[in-house]
Chain A
């Protein structure tokens, strides 16, 4: 089978930061070859100067995260025949949001700094006198979701928040944090949640864009883990955030009107005492009004709003 690859090259010894070169390769590969097989073939047979990381070839070591046709992937489990149209050029680049060291190799220092930031180790108050901690199998299977993470960096590569804000703890480290928050053997749950709630770049900065869910090669679904921690943080009493107020206001609006009340959502998320933010909102509001598109002061309501309210009430009463 023929494969066409276009590979991003960067050599810090001869090129300036931010520059790159594209090299094209045409190869005869095995019909079930992966993108990694093709890259190894290039490295071994065509161009020994090509640098990339890889080790296990079996999607467990997490070394070979790269962008393939724009999306972060583990190239060892990206089979050419399944992923590309016949004859389509396979464009391979280093992962995003991480500094390039050479060719397809990026610096993982920021990645692991963020992991360190979440105190990623079990913190029990005391160990059992004898034997292991007793915990249900379900509670361990639950943690498997995040323990499947192989720290390949794919989610960090494509995270839309990290693109604009280096301080965001990011999907991988937050999934790691979730693993301890959810571990029944850990006794720092509330402290962890408070920290993740309060800290700059914490759980409320995720935009819920699903990028990390989409690119994760191990189904860790970091975004889902972050959303679960938002709810847990609220349950643990962390309610002084715009994020909390946003969620509450949204809920209240849908419960009451069946619909979203954008104007009130904005004001309530800011907080009624947050004067600078309210002035800012008023500015946008006035300009919108001048254009004839201010959200109605009397919110638009669903015809069935009473029925919708009843559903809310039933679910809420069952939750308690």
Chain B
């Protein structure tokens, strides 16, 4: 039996930042992750991390205001205040841990501009900021001798007497199930982009954390708020960072027009993501696209600049499309990228289930509201990852460990056995691909009652099929077929929450833009949607 003070699910930025904090506080901490920590999807964050650094003339109020405006006023202002005011220390701390942030002439941290903000306050490492921070946090984890369960897949949360006291998890390498007990569990399991197709998200972003918490009774909040990133690479859906536009790249339609000058004369290409994605989609819908894409043009930035500051963008454009950014504009389109919605928490990461915390993309504090500003996600992870750990450390002082009973473990064992015993029928991939395509169709950049009902019908269909999915691989060792089937169940839960939340919100706000109700309705809808598992909406 495994036992810790605090167990953190997920080893991306939020998880590792929480782990480092909890370790510093002297707790017995462990991180459990279905992939090795350095494989986490935080890697994919490219452009940077926002922070208003007061010692160089910026102020947190400015950042907070931009964030709230960007959120279309749905973000909670107290939460945003905390994030903005703690941002400076958070970034400086990362630098001191070893992050190789880009510098100015004076040797101090340099910035670039990002969308939805008129001030340059985004700190960055080329176009690999997420990866560079993740690896440094992993270094810190190694330094502190952090316990890790690498390639362990959490199947269930253990809830006893209304408190979360641990997890049941599958050791992927051996195929054995185990209970891991902890006085507090911090959910930092990342996003759910795979509920949609295409998406910039990794194959591992299947909403596990969201679904696990949901099943434990925590509501998912604002799940209709799905961010479409304006610049994802044609066909592959790979992200091309907003940093490109932050550094001066233009968006062009088929007529060579910089169309953003029409849609957002003040912010131009750096309007908030919902605005830019809608503009692109409008251009495409009105026949000024190029095979379903618009063009991102970096040519005027020059080869040297592109390779120095946006090297990774050049790498993926060349490798995946054969396009040299210094020579040719690259076709891009809006693509599912991030989910503003998530496990409802307070500003300390606490959920309504005692002992269960959440941070990072799976959580909704809410600081992003209806639209997240670029480079605020990394900030969110480190600020609220840390706060969750601090609060959890306090919480565990007054609680006992769970029972240690094998009951939960045995339940999971028999559930998984029955899954393996199912007669051949549905295949998880077919169900996933069907659902994800339908979700993108129904809950798109633009949506209306009919499209959303279409997505709901798809989810209902998935509901019927999901219990017929059979696992072809009956073995124990590295049975990814089984893992994907369990992930499919998580994705179906998330899809359900998204569809019901979207249908509930009878207005347009941020990423939730209804062509049948185009106005924001502050009188009735300046509020969050909450989706519970039991109730149907």
Residues of A within 8 A of B (CB): 11-14, 30, 32, 34, 43-45, 47-49, 51-63, 77, 79, 101-103, 105, 108, 112, 115-116, 120-122, 124, 127-128, 130-137, 140-141, 143-144, 147-151, 183, 185
Contacts and interface: CB of A to CB of B under 8 A. Distances in A.
Contacts of B43: 56, 60-61, 150
Interface in B19-47: 35-36, 38-41, 43-44
Contacts of B471: 48
26 contacts: A32-B320, A45-B429, A47-B472, A48-B472, A51-B473, A51-B479, A56-B41, A57-B202, A57-B203, A57-B238, A58-B44, A58-B236, A60-B128, A62-B38, A63-B39, A79-B320, A102-B478, A105-B478, A121-B140, A121-B142, A122-B96, A128-B96, A132-B101, A132-B108, A149-B135, A150-B38
B16 interface: no
A59 B476 contact: no
Contact of A62 (B39, B95, B104): B39
Contacts of B108: 131-132, 134
B477 interface: yes
Given A48-B473, A56-B202, A60-B128, 11 more contacts: A44-B429, A55-B203, A55-B204, A56-B41, A58-B239, A61-B41, A121-B98, A131-B55, A147-B128, A147-B131, A148-B128
B97 interface: yes
Contacts of B427: 44, 48
B125 A131 contact: no
B179 to A, nearest CB: 24
Max chain B C-beta neighbours (<10 A), residue from A59, A134, A135, A147: A147
B103 A136 contact: yes
A53 B478 CA distance: 10
A148 B39 CA distance: 14
B316 A59 contact: yes
Given A57-B203, A77-B319, A63 B35 contact: yes
Contacts of B477: 11-13, 51, 101-102
Nearest to B145: A116
A56 B98 contact: no
Interface string B111-142: 00000000000000110100110011001101
A49 B97 contact: no
Looking at chain B, what size class is its interface with the partner chain?
Answer: 35 or more
B105 to A, nearest CB: 8
Contacts of B239: 58
A54 B480 CA distance: 11
Contacts, number: 164
Contacts of B106: 134
A143 B100 contact: yes
Given A56-B41, A120-B139, A147-B125, A51 B316 contact: no
* 9 closest Cβ pairs, A-B complex: A48-B472, A44-B429, A122-B98, A137-B103, A121-B139, A49-B473, A48-B481, A134-B107, A121-B143
Contact of A144 (B55, B105, B125): B125
B95 A132 contact: yes
A289 B291 CA distance: 74
Nearest to B318: A77
Nearest to A141: B308
A147 B132 contact: yes
A32 B316 CA distance: 13
Contacts of A52: 480
Contacts of B465: none
A60 B131 contact: yes
Given A55-B202, A56-B43, A137 B475 contact: no
